[in-house]
Amino acid sequence: METALDTFEKFDPQHLPEFEPLAPGHRACQGCGEVLALRLAAKALGREMIVVSATGCMEIISSAYPQTAWRVPWLHVAFENAAAVASGVEAALRIMKGKGKITRDDIPILAVAGDGGTADIGLQALSGAWERGHNFIYLCLDNEAYMNTGIQRSSLTPYGAATTTSPPGKLSIGEGHFKKDLPAIAVAHKIPYVATVNPAYYLDLMNKVKKAALIQGPAYLHAFSPCPTGWRHEGRYAVKIARLAVQTRVFPLYEVINGKYFLNRKVTKPKPVREYLKLQRRFAHLTEEDIEIIQENVNNEYDRLLRLSEEVDLETKLTTSFQQYLDQLKQQMDEAYKKLREEFQHT
């Protein structure tokens, strides 16, 4: 059966949409990678959409009453319930369509929250929405801490990072846990679309948002979001750091479509993780041994992803070669039949 993804048309980089649902003039810090990811995601969806935004940096910087940077319908919701409210919006649109009050059923709903709002306090609402199968896009803007309330650690803060609640010292390396694997938690809910995105790879990001809008059912996008304020790096390095995260394999770009993993960018010659860490003062206290531990974890996680996506490659290869075999067989049979018919006509 043909799905929306079979006829998917990528954005043409020469003709990107001009409309900016998130207008310039918001109050994000200089060089904020989070607002860049959000702006690109919104641009991919266009004028006709509804945004549901949990408390967090992106709400604070875009909606200081009586002003707003949003040019589309936008709801501010509590820290914990972006997914619950987006579920309600989706159900309301469905019912209005059923009653004939609206005709369209393709209005995208974009729920947005930070890593704190997603991985910690909003996780139950999100899990419920995924279980019920609501048709909306959830975008986690992962700046790896609770930034707008003062850089407290979250369950997505990386191992070794200094935050105000994970300060390094004689007895502490800083954050002592590795990041919770939220895309894997999304995949475990068996939702149709999960992907990682990064504002340094803007076309990949916009195309994944476009795909997420086409797919019926829940879609989860996990956005790498550099934060100069919390990561203690110069604003001008946000995109460089975002790119380094992919080049060092710290943040691989992949999609999981109906449970199948596709590694979008295979990094065959990775740069050492040290290069990514050294531009950020939140990692300045780490020793060579600490960096080695992080490097080892990055290697293991990447190998795991590679294995998962290679299973898909192998399956594709097998089905492709089987298909080729069937095609050849059909061609041989057609030829034999043609020959038989010709011989029969001559007798």
Q: Using CB under 6 A as the criterion, which residues of the chain lie in contact with ligand TPP when the complex forms?
A: 34, 55-58, 79-80, 113-117, 121, 141, 143, 146-149, 154
Q: Does 198 bind ligand SF4 (CB under 6 A)?
A: no
Q: Which of 61, 84, 246, 253 binds ligand SF4 (CB under 6 A)?
A: 61
Taking the complex as a whole, how short is the minimal distance between the CB of residue 228 and ligand SF4, in angstroms? Answer: 5
**C-alpha atoms less than 13 angstroms from C-alpha of 314 in its C-beta half-sphere:** 6
CB of 61 to ligand SF4, least distance (A): 5
Closest contact distance (angstroms) between CB of 186 and ligand TPP is 17
149 binds, among ligand TPP, ligand SF4, none (CB under 5 to 8 A by kind): ligand TPP
Beta strands in 60-204 (DSSP E): 74-77, 109-114, 137-142, 193-197
Per-residue b or e along 161-195, where b marks 16 or more CB atoms closer than 10 Å to that residue's CB: bbbeebebeeeebbbeeebbebbebbbeeebbbbb
State whether residue 300 is helix, strand or coil. helix
Separation CA 117–CA 126 (nearest Å): 10
Q: Binder to ligand SF4 among 28, 162, 173, 213 (CB under 6 A)?
A: 28
85 makes contact, choosing from ligand SF4, ligand TPP, none, with CB < 5 to 8 Å by partner type, with none
Interface with ligand SF4 (CB under 6 A), residue total 14
CA 236 to CA 242: how far, in whole Å? Answer: 11
Nearest to 116 by CA among 26, 245, 225: 225
Q: Which of residues 301-340 bind ligand SF4 (CB under 6 A)?
A: none
Alpha-carbon span 78 to 74, nearest angstrom:
13
Contacted by 80, from ligand TPP, ligand SF4, none: CB < 5 to 8 Å by type? ligand TPP
Give strand pairing partners of 52: 75, 111
108 — phi, psi (to 5°)?
-70, 140
Residue 28 contact partner, candidates ligand TPP, ligand SF4, none, CB within 5 to 8 A by sort of partner = ligand SF4
- CA 55, CA 261: separation in Å to the nearest integer? 31
Going residue by residue from 29 to 48, which x/- string records binding to ligand SF4, judged by CB under 6 A? x--x-xx-------------
Give, as one character, the DSSP assignment of residue 220: E
Cβ atoms 74, 22 nearer than 8 A: no
In the list ligand SF4, ligand TPP, none, the entry touching 273 (Cβ below 5 to 8 angstroms by class) is none
Per rule CB under 6 A, is residue 62 in the interface with ligand SF4?
no
Toward ligand SF4, which CB reaches closer, 37 or 137?
Answer: 37
Q: How far is the CB of 114 from ligand TPP (least distance, A)?
A: 2
Q: Closer to ligand TPP at the Cβ: 146 or 159? A: 146
Instruction: Report helix, strand or coil for 261.
Output: strand
- Rounded CA gap, 65 and 189, in Å? 37
**Which does residue 79 bind out of ligand SF4, ligand TPP, none, counting CB within 5 to 8 angstroms by kind?**
ligand TPP
| Binding-site member from 53, 228, 233, 242 for ligand SF4 (CB under 6 A) | 228
Residue 154 binding result from ligand SF4, ligand TPP, none, given CB thresholds of 5 to 8 Å by partner type: ligand TPP
Binds ligand SF4 (CB under 6 A): choice among 148, 154, 196, 198: 148
56 binds, among ligand TPP, ligand SF4, none (CB under 5 to 8 A by kind): ligand TPP
Q: Cα–Cα distance between 40 and 199 in angstroms, integer?
A: 7
Coil/strand/helix, residue 29: coil
Quote the tokens at residue 213.
């809008």
Q: Which residues bind ligand SF4 (CB under 6 A)?
A: 28-29, 32, 34-35, 57, 61, 143, 147-148, 227-230
